[in-house]
Structures are given as structure tokens and as C-alpha cells.
A and B are shown apart, each in its own frame.
Chain A
Amino acid sequence: MKKIVSLFFAVVLVFNLCACSATATKEKPVLTIQRSEHESFTYNKEQPVIEELEKRLNIDIQLETYPSADYNAKLNIQLGTDDLPDIVLGTYTSLAQYAAQGMFVNLSEHMDKLPNYKATLEKYETLANAFKVDGDMYWFIQDVEKGSVIGGDFPMVRKDILEDIGWEKAPDNFEELYEMLKAIKEYDPNSIPFVTRGTSVLSRMGYSFGTYNNIYFEPDEGKYLYGPIYDHYRDFLEYLNRFYTEGLLDPDFASFNKSMWMEYLTSGKSFFFFDNSSFSTDINLVTKSVDPEAAFVPMLTLENNYGSRRNRLYEGCGVSPLRNDVWAISSNCENLDAALAFMDYLYSDEGAMLCSYGIEGVNYDVLEDGTIEFDQEKIDWYKNNANDPYREYCNEIGVGVLAVAGKIYSENWYEFLDQDSLDMLAFWEKDEYLQPYSYSLCLSAEDTAAIADISTACSTLVSSESLKFITGTRPLSEFGDFVEELKAAGAETIEEVYNKTYQSTLN
């Protein structure tokens, strides 16, 4: 047996030697770029932008893409075996612990070669600090500059139901919201006025209500809080418990998935949701096919019981232009200079224009006053034939946040949007209470390890007990015990770790 084993080791060794001598150097530097492939965006040879990038920078780009659902599995094995391609896309919070291990090029050491990216970082100084690991920057943050396409968790209501129940204007605070839902239930007893995507209501609506079901940044107090150990959370559970017992929420709401959620909203069973507002485009398409008046419209930010108004935008839009997805260069990259030059180019104005709108003169023209004009025929074709004209056009030419891009301009797309979306954007532009996305902090490796078990234990407790309180299987009088359980599991330690890290990013 030993002989066999040693024989195989020998074979493996020989293989290794052969391979080392076989790698030949090419003239053009090759860059392997890896990213996830979103379902609504496919990479193919016809997209002109990648070719243009290769030509402009005299490099050879090898694009490797994986399904977004499986991307983390792929990335994890690559990170776990230190076998990364030259440039990878990932979420900065999950890459942070590997940066500390030295798996990525520390960009702070190469800032002299990155003038454009340096300028971008300087523009967002305080915001960009959250992305640093131990004070160093390891990644190129995707920057959706001049972000205007707004998305976030907002309250949305069917406008025709308000007329039906005789309300002149939409609710302005959470109590009125409750009254409205009750009125809808009375008007149509078979309806389930409020539908949620599973338990995500705890975070989506929770923030607006003045709490959260996990660790979060509380702007009113200027620090991180573990939501469920405070009385606001109790009030929120009580509020939802009322919904549940009065039939304003579905008895199965906790197990609702996206398609069931869609079904309730499009079949006239539900009239209100508090979720990703951009879904309304698709929902309205279906509801309007039956009744042209039936459409979900946004409501202004509600006032909560504690006197504040807040709704949170998603990352990568409006006042939060930076995205959680970042590009990092592997420490094993053989063409570091080419990689740095390539990435920096994406942040130059020329590169940003290319990755946002395509090739000048081919995909768009710049008018004398500096505005950008697309081919009207293209716009018409996409508006008539596509479900989602803007994104499908982006896919055709290979631009936008789902492509290979660093800095992205997201204005000038208005012509691709339908009237509903434009109205919605105009509506939110007036809303002064929209709050920026709060970027997660990069915890140090020790902190991450220290709170991994605590966080899992706490969130398990929160998920199971919150629902018990809402459905009434556990009386709210026991909320104090629940808080004690959470504290015993270490909820306060999580707060400490986050606030400590937060303080260090302020300096």
C-alpha cells in the first residue's frame, strides 16, 4: 500500500513540474475577472463594451461568471483554497476577514497608481470609511454616481381602494395605517389587506416603525442597537399582533414566499405592502390588465409612535451611491500593474461613460449642451417589446451595475422608464424623510469570530420568539423574559462590538 501511495505522490509531483514549465508569457496581459451573473443579465460575445475595454487598455479580458444563487459557494471555495482569479466581485463584509489574512492587494499602498479611484474615495470620505479594514482600503467600491433610480422598503397602497373605502388621503402615521387596513377589511371581509414576504416585515417595516429585528444603526441615538432588546420592538410586536388577530395579516404570513406574495397583490386579495418599491412596476402591469385604475402607489413616509419619520433607501441609489458589491484584486495576480490600471480606468470619466452608456457615437451621442441622447428607435423598440426596457437594453450593450463597471452614471435613463416609474420617482424626490442606507461595518477577524455564535443564537431566538408574540402563542407580558434570554445569549456584546468598530471609523 505504501508503495502505491508514494507512487501517486510521485506522479502528482511530475505533473506539477510539467505544468510549471508549460506556462508561456503572452504579450498582452491577461486579466481574469470573475463576477456573479444575475438572472436578468447574461454575458455574451455580442456585448460591445468588454471588447472596447480590451482595445482601449490593450489587455485580454477573461470573464468568468457564475449563477448568482451559487456565487457564494464558488467564492467560498476559492477563498478557502487561496485560488482566486485576478479580479473578483464580492460583498465587502464577507471579504473583509480574508483581506485581513492578506488575500487581496492593499490598495492603500498603491494609491499613487490609482488617481481616478483616489478622487472617488476622497469624494465620499466618511462614507467610504465603513469599507476599510483596519484603516486600509482593499477594494474598488462600485459607485452609482448621480444615482437617481430610487429603491427601498416603502409603504405602497392600491390607490383605488382608498377611494372605495372613502379615504381622501393616504395614512400619515402608523395608527392611521392600522385604521386604513381595518377599513379595508370591513369593506372587503375576504381580503387580507396587508401581505408580507415572510418574516422580512420585521426588518422592512420595523425600521420605519422605529426598531429593527437585528443589530442596526439608530440615527436618533447615533449608535448601533440590538433592536429586539428595546421596548420599541415590543410595541412593534404588539402592533403586528393586532394585525394578526384581526385578520389584517394572513395566518400563514411567516411562510409566504415571493410568488405567493405576488399572487395576493395581483389578484386583489391584498391592498398594501411594505417592501421593495420597485416591485410595484411588475405588480401594476398585472393589476392594470384587469382594472386600469388598480395600481400601487407610494405613500409618504409615515410618522411613527416616537415622533420620527424614516424610510430607508437601498444601497446604490440616491443618497447612498456606493454598493455593497466591490471588486478586489487577488494577491496572487501576476499582472498587478495591468489590473490596477484597468480598475482605475473604470473610475475615470471616460471609463465611467463607457460602462454606463456604451460607446459614444455607436450607442449614444452627446449633444452640444452636454446631454446624452440614445437612439430613439432603440428606445421605442425596447419600450414596446421588453418587460423591463432599461435593464434589457443595458444587457444588450453590456453596461450598468450588473456588468463589469466601477463608476456608473444612472441618470439619463428616464426615456426608458414608463410613466408610473417616473411618477414614483417624482413623488419620492419630494419626500424629505428618506434616509441613507446604513452600510455594514467591516468587523475585525477576531470580532467576527467572537460574535458569530452569539449572533446566530440571538437571531434564532428573535426569529422564533417574535413570531410567537405576533401570533399570540406567547403573551406579550413575557417580553421582559425574552429580553433577558437575549441578553443572556449575548445581545449586548454584539452592540459593544459594533459600537467600538463604529467609533473607529469616525476617526
Chain B
Amino acid sequence: MNLAIAKKSKQNRNKICCGSKLPVWVKRDWQLYLMLALPIAYYIIMKYIPMYGTLIAFKDYSARLGVWGSKWIGLTNFKKILSEPYFYKLLRNTLLINFYCLLFAFPASILFALLLNEMRFKRFRKVAQTVSYLPHFISTVVVCGMITNFLRTNGGLVNDLIALFGGERISFLTKPEYFRGIYVISEIWQHLGWDAIIYIAALTSISPELYEVASIEGANRLQKAIYVTFPCIASTITIMLILRIGHLVSLGYEKIILLYSGTTYETADVISTYVYRRGLLTADFSYGTAIELFQTVISLILVLCANWVGHKISDTSLW
């Protein structure tokens, strides 16, 4: 199979080289463009054509009339959203929770990958790696059930420990100041190993020779980690970071709804949970799309900025 393709491509190549007057880049890269044909078709059909759906945000959408037939309402939805003072609280909470995740959960998985890499007992390392990514598979409902169980004031594991050391029991789940911490820590617990996989994969591509050279030059382990390991996975980290920054304004509702209550709205209520609660009253497609579009615009701005900075600093760019 491979051979056949190879032969054919050789023939084609010869034909093109001798026969036509195509530009050099076409001659050289036509196979690449051919490879791209299917993916680009995919992007156009499944991603770009459906993008007309964003028009719903500017229309009073009715399914009977369809996207095109519905009545234009212009910026009504956006005005409604932006004139609501509570919306800025939601936006702030969304950004802050995401920001704390970025600040703690994001480096945690990198650190975990590096520590695994430094692990000397191979078997122990394997076990740690395999086990650490398993929480990723536990459904959110179960995870949140466990969190509430562990953190409750009476009989919760954490409070029992606090009491054991003579501390005062704390009602973690009803105090707004603890919500972000609980959320971020549970995120780390759930996704530490899973997020580390990508860095572990990147670490395997580092040449052992580089370490040898470093040893010969007398570098200690810390120096090796800083001057050899880290630069080798820096581009992966940068890409991941830029993508994360792009998602600072979006946060799923499921986990938060299972963890928050009225007393913690102050820090826990985010855009998606508010939209969810509103959606229980009325399925308003236009409003939902408008919110999404708003988030999209912010995401794009954030990504553009992050990418620009990334490009300046480390010469890594998303495009």
C-alpha cells in the first residue's frame, strides 16, 4: 500500500517537474495541500457553515421561521446583558475562578510531570503515573458528592482532622471565601494527572545525550532541570498556556451548581450558572447565543494578546 502510493507519487512528481510551469511552492508542496483537503473540508462543513448560527444572537429566534426568517432585533440582547449590573459580578467570578485555576492548577500539572521525570524508582513512577489520571474518569456528580461529604462540618473528614488538632470546625461549603479554593483544589485533584500527560509526552522526546553533555559540563540536577528539561517542553507549555488564557471567560456550570448554594453566590455564581438558571424559566436561544458571542469576543481578544506576547518572548505562536 505504502509502496504503491510512494511509486505513484514519484511518477506524479516527475510529471509535474518536467511538464508544467507551476510555481515552485506548488510543485514542492502539492502533496501537503492534498493532505489538507479532507481536514479543510471538515472545518468548512462542520465548523464554518454552521457559524451562521451566531446570527441568532441578533434575532428573535423562532424555529418555525428558521435562522434566516426570524425577526431582527439588533443589539437588544447585548444591551440587556451589559446593562445588568449583576452580569459584571458574574463576569468577575468567572474570570477569578479561571484565573486561580490558571495560577495553581496549570503549573501543578507541569510540576507533577517534572517530578515524575525526576523519579528514580521506575516502578513507583509507573504506578504514580497510571493512578494519577484516574480521577479524570469519575463523573462530576460523584466528585461533588464526595467533596460535600469530606468538607461538611459534622462528620466531614477535613473537619474531623481540624478538630483532632484542636481547631474550630469550619463550615467550608457555606462560606463564600472558601469556594474558589475548594473549586481549584478539586480541579487539581481531578485533572492533575490527566493534564500532565501532554507534558510527559513532551518530556519523552528529550534526547538523553543532552543530559549527558550537561553532566559532563558539571551541571547538577536542578541545573539540568532548568537548562535542559524546561526549555525542551517550553513550547508545549506556551501553547497550553495560550489556549488556557483563551478560555478564561468560559466555565462549565455542572460542577458549580453541585457545589454552590445561595450563601456562596457572591463568589460562586458565574455566567454559565446564571444562564442555566434563566434557562429553567424559558429556553431563550437568542439570549444564550448572545452570551456565547460575548464570551467569544473576549476569548479572541485574550488569545490574540497572549499569542502576541508568547511570540515576542519565546517565539512560539499558535499560528
Q: Give me the interface of A with B, judged by CB distance under 8 Å.
A: 4-5, 8, 76, 79-82, 94, 97-98, 101-103, 192, 198-199, 250-252, 254-257, 259-260, 269, 448-449, 452-453, 455-457, 459-460, 462-468, 471, 473
Contact = CB atoms under 8 A, between A and B. Distances in A.
Interface in B13-56: 40-41, 44-45, 49
B263 A250 contact: no
Nearest to B273: A460
B230 interface: no
A101 B278 contact: no
Contact of B277 (A102, A250, A459): A459
User: In the complex, which range does the number of interface residues on chain B fall in?
Assistant: 35 or more
Given A4-B44, A80-B285, A460-B86, A260 B149 contact: yes
B63 interface: yes
Contact of B63 (A80, A466, A467): A80
Contact of A252 (B45, B80, B171, B284): B171
A467 B171 CA distance: 14
A252 B173 contact: yes
A497 to B, nearest CB: 12
Interface in B138-182: 145, 148-149, 152-154, 171, 173-174
B205 interface: no
Contact of A82 (B64, B154, B171, B266): B64
A254 B262 contact: yes
Contacts, number: 112
Given A252-B152, A260-B149, 16 more contacts: A4-B41, A5-B44, A8-B49, A94-B282, A97-B282, A101-B62, A102-B64, A254-B261, A449-B282, A453-B84, A456-B277, A460-B274, A463-B261, A464-B266, A471-B263, A473-B263
User: Lowest 8 CB-CB distances: which A-B pairs, in order?
Assistant: A463-B262, A254-B261, A255-B173, A82-B63, A464-B265, A467-B262, A456-B278, A467-B263
19 contacts: A4-B44, A80-B61, A80-B285, A81-B63, A97-B282, A98-B63, A192-B154, A250-B153, A250-B154, A252-B173, A254-B262, A257-B148, A260-B148, A260-B149, A260-B152, A449-B282, A452-B284, A460-B277, A463-B262
Contacts of A8: 41, 44-45, 49
B269 interface: yes
B283 interface: yes
Interface in B257-277: 258-259, 261-263, 265-266, 269, 274, 277
Given A464-B262, A467-B262, A252 B174 contact: yes
B127 interface: no
Contact of A453 (B153, B154, B278): B278
B154 A463 contact: no
Contacts of B149: 260
Interface string B80-94: 100010100000000
Interface in B265-319: 265-266, 269, 274, 277-278, 281-285, 287
Nearest to B171: A251
B281 A456 contact: yes
B283 A76 contact: yes
A256 B284 CA distance: 30
A91 to B, nearest CB: 11
Given A79-B283, A251-B153, A259 B145 contact: yes
Given A8-B44, A254-B263, A79 B63 contact: yes
B55 to A, nearest CB: 14
B282 A452 contact: yes
Contacts of B282: 94, 97, 448-449, 452
B207 to A, nearest CB: 41
A457 B86 contact: yes
Nearest to A269: B154
Contacts of B278: 452-453, 456
Given A76-B283, A251-B171, A255-B148, A103 B64 contact: yes
Nearest to A103: B64
Contacts of A256: 148
Most buried by B among A5, A252, A459, A466: A252
A452 B66 CA distance: 22
B86 A471 contact: no
Contacts of B259: 255
Nearest to A84: B63
B60 to A, nearest CB: 9
A103 B283 CA distance: 15
A462 B261 CA distance: 12
A467 B261 contact: yes
Contacts of A259: 145
A117 B185 CA distance: 56
A380 to B, nearest CB: 37
Contact of B262 (A82, A192, A199, A252): A199
B63 A199 contact: no
Contacts of A448: 281-282
Contact of A4 (B40, B61, B66, B145): B40
A455 B274 CA distance: 12
Contacts of A473: 263
Contacts of A79: 63, 283
A198 B261 contact: yes
A252 B178 CA distance: 13
B266 A254 contact: no
Nearest to A95: B283
A254 B259 CA distance: 10
A452 B281 contact: yes
A131 to B, nearest CB: 18
Contacts of A465: 262
A471 B269 CA distance: 19
A453 B81 CA distance: 9
Given A5-B44, A464-B265, A464-B266, A94 B283 contact: yes
Nearest to A254: B261
A103 B65 CA distance: 11
B112 to A, nearest CB: 30
Contact of A449 (B145, B274, B284): B284
B89 to A, nearest CB: 10
Contact of B80 (A254, A453, A459, A468): A453
B158 to A, nearest CB: 12
A478 B66 CA distance: 49
Most buried by A among B45, B61, B64, B262: B262
Contact of A464 (B44, B61, B148, B263): B263
A4 B39 CA distance: 12
Given A102-B64, A252-B174, A457 B283 contact: no
Contact of A80 (B40, B49, B283): B283
